Each structure stands twice: as structure tokens, then as C-alpha cells.
Structure 1
């Protein structure tokens, strides 16, 4: 057997394991305490009624011979692909349904999509970064260029003309920082990618949280993006599909490299490597894009945004620097009094039983920062914010 030796180059990820161990140990010593968990990026609200009704209807379909569905089209059910294309159309982005590919979620797709680029590529990743970007490319054997971001550029780094890469990762709104690229800054990245013949992998998992008009929801709202960008989206945070698993990827038909068409390549990849997302899940996903579904999921998103407003108000009172929150479900704060990110984690856990995520877990540029997720319950979020103000005001 010849193993993929790139696995030996992976750094052990202690982030969420350490968080779990620390919280477990604390609760063992303090069984009477309640933890206010704002670390993990999982949702707390259930699927909306429109989705639940569609899922139940799809299950019933599978019990009747005339409506039973076996294998689904590998690239997605035509009606769901069309619904997603129409969703883009309402924002002024013209797509054909054949440019939309239904997936089992953004996390899966972000790794699988590397099949399009072959081996030994140079990949540009902005740091702090979602750890899967780095790990997937390490496994693939690609060279990674880390682009540092910090408070000085509001965690929105701009392209360096002296750096050349094959693939560029952009996540906006960003996980973990909550920072978002406006039209002008995103246009600079698109122009840069087209100038060096690179492909942008645009992670738009949190686009539904954008509320400001000068922030693009899709990279295809920027001129020239159809010639250089692949957009990967998720229903996990948009519609609570973290446990249901469905997303979609957009690959324009005009996207070509080396005499090959990436849309056609991905059709070939999906028809080779997958049997499609299940009928039941795709029916539930289609309900997200109905008028009823959109209203209901945005009602849930507004609850998470109220959580964000509560935390931002607390940090404003304390005079602590942060970004995110307004257009994203994450708040990225500077640790107070020069604390390290794990030091601050231990401090909050011990003193006020609040759990967040140490920034160091997202790369070296995250040291000294801390991430709060706004996906918890409103009651816990309000109490956590109150405790945070009380503790740090001392």
C-alpha cells in the first residue's frame, strides 16, 4: 500500500478538542454551573415550517409507487437548480440552472472542488482562516501562501501584485472574523485573479446575513467574476441545515482554463463521484427558496442578528475593538489587557462560565483575538453579554 504521505504534514487540530476537554473538566468540578456556549458555529433554532412540510411531503412521496424517487440527477434536481438560479436573478445575477450544482454542503464541496485543479498548485489563503481550507490543500499536496490579516486592515487584506497563485480562497462574510468585502475591495481581488489567470473559490456560506447595500452577496455581482470565480454556498446557517446537509456550487459556463471548461469538468466529476443529494433533502431545500420559506428563514436569521446586536452593545460599552456582527453571525474581538486567546478563554470560563473560540485556532494571525458565535439562544446570549460587561468593567 502506498499512502498519501501529505497526511503526515497536517498539523494536529487541538482547537475544538481542547475546548471540549476544558469545558468537560470545568463541569466535572462545578456540576451546578450552566455554561453559556457561544463558541461552536452550529445553529440553535429548528428548521422553518415551510421546510418541515416539504420534508414530510417528500417522505410520503417515497411511500407511493407513482411518486417514489430513487437515484437523483448527480448535479441536482432540475427544479431546485432553477429555484437557486432565480434566487440569484432577484439580485441581478443572471445564471442558467446548468451553472448551479447541488451539493451535500459547503464543507464537502470545498474539499472536493480541488479535483478541478490537479496537483502541486499554489494556493493563497487569507489568515485567520477556516481550518478546512488549509487542511484540504495540505492533503492535496498544494503549496499554501498565507496572507496575513489584522486589525490594521480590518481583517480584509488586499492583493499583492508580486504574489502569484493558482487558487485564491475568499470567504465573505468571513469565518471567523465576520469581516466583509465591499464592492470596491472585491473588485480588486477579481481584477487581480483575472490578471494572473487564477481561480477564486468564493465561500458565500453567510451571505444571507448581509444587511448593508454596499456589500455584495455574491461575487458574481462584481464585473469579471464569471471568468475567474467559483462560488460555494450552504444552507446550514442560512436555513438551519447543519444537520440536514445541503448546499450548492456555482460554476459559470464561461469559466475556462488551459483550453478546458470548468463547468463541463465539474459535470463529469459529479457524474463520476456522486449519486446526487437525496430526493427528500432536495425537496426541503427547494422550500427555502419559496416566498414563504424566505420569510421564515429570515425571521430566524433576525433572531441571530439580535444576538449579535446584544453582544456588540456589550463590547461597545466596554470600549473593546471588534469586527463582524452586523453582516455576519460571528463577532471577532480583541482580547482585553493583552491577554492571549487561550488565556482569555480560560478567564471567561472560570469567571463567568462563557465559552467562545480562541482566535489562535484559526492560525497565527488569530492570536490575541477571540470569536463569539451568535447562534445561541437569545436568553443565554443576553446573560452572557451582561456577565461580560460586569466582569470586564472591573
Structure 2
């Protein structure tokens, strides 16, 4: 663990000077401060030399053997470590991060005001409350069901409010246990694979093909429109599927998701559908798996307020487990998940849930749409930048990520070049699985002036 201290720099570039007078892109703020080092932020960097931590005394407790299977560090702390090393080497560098998918714009006031009022009420006898329902506040669960699932047959009791989709991924792994086979999109969000490894669902890491044994990697490439050829996919018990996808930014069509649901039914599988970026969909792609007939019998869904309302640090999400979803013995999946939640979780913060309820008011929904639109414009700027430089660019339409192809090159080498020469942090595609090699993911989460400055630097680097 280490502290990183970062000085600030003022930037005041204009969109017209960087992208041309007719670009159509506007700046939300005329001046913004970005930090090349974040003051007082404690980062999980990992231990550079584990041997240095060993003392003369050891316990008799064996290490979880599955932890030894994990390769290197988790992707994003590793990127943070390299970023810190770069700043140490270049202390005057003005580093801009387009790497980790962390939001940057302020939470809308209608939402923070609701949280502030709830927090203030806790200082009164009348307004104080302690433990709430582990499944979440009834009003919030009802609002989630009606707002996002309309007439799809999803009810309040199918909703489990949580402290974020990432946390629910691990709770779901507890639910499924170690004796299941998992399938993932390749590339995909690394938490799916890493949690499977820790749970003991996988074999050893196979260095020759950069894969873990006993995981079905469903290859998603530009050639198959980033949707796997299911005719080549072996049966798996649990299928992790993210749409819009992180990292490729692609959203599965209704026809594609219909094929996925049918595939799950034929194989008796359960789909864990990650819809954390659904609000970014700008075409007619389904925003939830439950728009597909029969999905309630083979799928559950995780989602989050993180990328809509700027709740990455506030932490609030939900999981939908339909009552129709059954294990092979006929028991309800929701019943077991409820037991997992009640055992491992005391419920989301009551202050944060008040914010979630405000998100789903008419004013809150409009405010979230404005935030999403801002990041979507950032995405257009990045797509325009890379396309103008002759790169093949994917994503960027239904998700806040741009997936850029560097054929024949190591994605970590590209990451290093952009960091070293342009002082920009991106994400190497290989960190999302072997299918990501040769790509980098560029995040559109950032202040407008930083994104414009990043665009200028990229044009200088790759002109």
C-alpha cells in the first residue's frame, strides 16, 4: 500500500482549437483542474516483493491454494502501480487518466440533497434508523422494478439492493459454489474470471494460451460482431454476459440475446447478465435480458447506479433474481441468494438508498440522462480522434468505452508507449482476456477539457 500525492494543473483548451470549428463538440466547463497525482488517496498497489513480508513466525493455516493460481495483480491496481511509477519518473508530468472506468462529473444535486436530508434525519429521534432489510428498502426496490423492468413481470421481491454490481458478482459466486463450470465473453470484465479462480471453479493458468482450465472462453471479435459463435461454445453451468460490453463497448442485439437465451435453455445453464451500462444504449438494443421471452427461466441480472449517477464511490446497485429461475432440483435460486445476502450483508447504507430513490424520481432520471449524455459526447470526441488517425475503432456508441485496434502489437506495449510519450493512462486489452490482445480500452469518463487535451496529445503522438 502507498500514498500518492499529486499537484494540480489548470487546463483551458477549447474544443474548436483541438477538433476544428465545425466539430460540434462543446465544453461543459471553461476551466478544470485535473490531478497528475491524487492527494491523500490510498491505492491498493499490491506487494512488490512478497518475500519481504515474511516473518520468522508462521501460523499453521494453509493458504487458499486458489489464490496461487491468480496471475500477477488485479488489472486496475496494476495499472495504478505503473501510473505511480511513471509519475515518480516524471514528477512534472501532467498525467490524464482514461484508464479505469471511474466517473468524474459531480453527482446531480437532486440526488445529493436527498442523501443529505436522510443523513441529517439520522441525528434526530424521529429520523434515526439502524439496520434495514438486507434486500433493500421496499420503496427503492419497487421503484427499480417499475422504472427499469416496467411490464416485464419483474416485481419488487425479485430485486436485491446491494453496494454495487462488483460486490454482487462475488456473492453470486458464493451462491453457485466451486462445482460449476463458468463461461465468459473473451474479452470481458476481469472480475468474472478472477472470482471464479478464487472460488475454486477453475484449473491452473495455461500460459501457452493465456487461459485458465475449466473456463469456457467465448471469443468475441470484430469478425463476429463481438458476439460469440455459440455453435462452438461448450456447455457451462454459469454464463457471464455483459451488454453493453466492458471493454469492447458493443451491445448485443435482440436477435443475438434471443440466441443466448435459447442456448442457455438447451444447455440448462444460468446467465448472469451484467447491464451496468444499459443507460448508455442509444439504439434499439435491449436494455435488460428480461426483454427476451423466456429469459426469466434462465437468467438473473446485475446492475448499478455507478455509471449513471456518479455512484462509483457512493456504492449502490441491485441484482434481479426472478422467481421463475430454478436450480436442477426445482428449488428457487432467489431463496438461496436471499440466504447468501442475509448471511454476508447487512444491507446498503440507508443514506445511499435515499439517494437511489432520488435517482429514480422524474427529476433524478433527467439529471442522470444529462450525465450520461455528457460522457457520450466525450466518447464521440475519442472515436473521432482515433478514427481520424486511421485506427479501427469499435464501441463508443452504446457504452462509455472506445476499443482501439493496434494489430500485431502487444497491448501492454501500446499502453506503455502512450503513457511514456503522451502521459495518458489507458487500459491494455489483454487485461480483459486473451481476446483483448492487440487492443486498448479508452475510457470516456473524464472532464471535458482533459478529454480534449488527451485528444490533442494522441494526435501529436500518432500523426
Taking structure 2 as the reference length, the TM-score comes to 0.81
CA contact (8 A) 2:249 2:400 kept: yes
What's the secondary structure of 1:237's corresponding residue? Answer: helix
Count of equivalent residues: 390
Q: Distance in 2 between matches of 1:115 and 1:19?
A: 28
Match runs of 1:211-290 below 5 Å: 211-213=282-284, 215-257=285-327, 258-290=329-361
Out of 85, 88, 98, which is 2:157 matched to?
A: 98
The alignment status of 1:70 with 2:112, answered yes or no, reads: no
Q: Distance in 2 between matches of 1:101 and 1:178?
A: 26
Matched with 1:183 is: 254
Structure (1 or 2) with the larger CA radius of gyration: 2
After TM superposition, the structure 1 stretch with the greater mean CA deviation from structure 2, 201-210 or 15-24, is 15-24
Deviation at 1:148, TM superposition (A): 2.0
What's the secondary structure of 1:283's corresponding residue? Answer: helix
**Greater helix fraction, Structure 1 or Structure 2:** 1
What's the secondary structure of 1:168's corresponding residue? Answer: strand
Out of 17, 20, 27, which is 2:80 matched to?
A: 20
Q: Distance in 2 between matches of 1:312 and 1:109?
A: 32
The alignment status of 1:136 with 2:206, answered yes or no, reads: no
Matched with 1:48 is: 108
The alignment status of 1:345 with 2:415, answered yes or no, reads: yes
**Residues 287, 31 of structure 1: CA spacing in aligned structure 2 closer, same or farther, 3 A cutoff?**
same
Q: Distance in 2 between matches of 1:266 and 1:113?
A: 7
The alignment status of 1:61 with 2:121, answered yes or no, reads: yes
What's the secondary structure of 1:331's corresponding residue? Answer: strand
The alignment status of 1:392 with 2:432, answered yes or no, reads: no
Matched with 1:367 is: 437
Q: Where has structure 1 moved over 4 Å in runs of 4 or more?
A: none
The alignment status of 1:119 with 2:189, answered yes or no, reads: no
What's the secondary structure of 1:326's corresponding residue? Answer: coil
**Residues 267, 87 of structure 1: CA spacing in aligned structure 2 closer, same or farther, 3 A cutoff?**
same
Out of 258, 264, 270, which is 1:193 matched to?
A: 264
CA contact (8 A) 1:341 1:368 kept: yes
Q: Runs of 5+ in structure 2 lacking a partner?
A: 1-60, 202-213
Q: Distance in 1 between matches of 2:414 and 2:149?
A: 45
Matched with 1:168 is: 239
Q: Runs of 5+ in structure 1 lacking a partner?
A: none
Q: Distance in 1 between matches of 2:456 and 2:233?
A: 47
Q: Distance in 1 between matches of 2:271 and 2:421?
A: 43
Alignment deviations for residues 85-109 of structure 1 (CA, whole Å, 9 cap, x no partner): 111244x423110001101110110
CA contact (8 A) 1:158 1:189 kept: no
CA contact (8 A) 1:252 1:263 kept: yes
CA contact (8 A) 2:326 2:333 kept: yes
Out of 202, 210, 235, which is 2:281 matched to?
A: 210
Deviation at 1:359, TM superposition (A): 0.8
Deviation at 1:301, TM superposition (A): 1.0
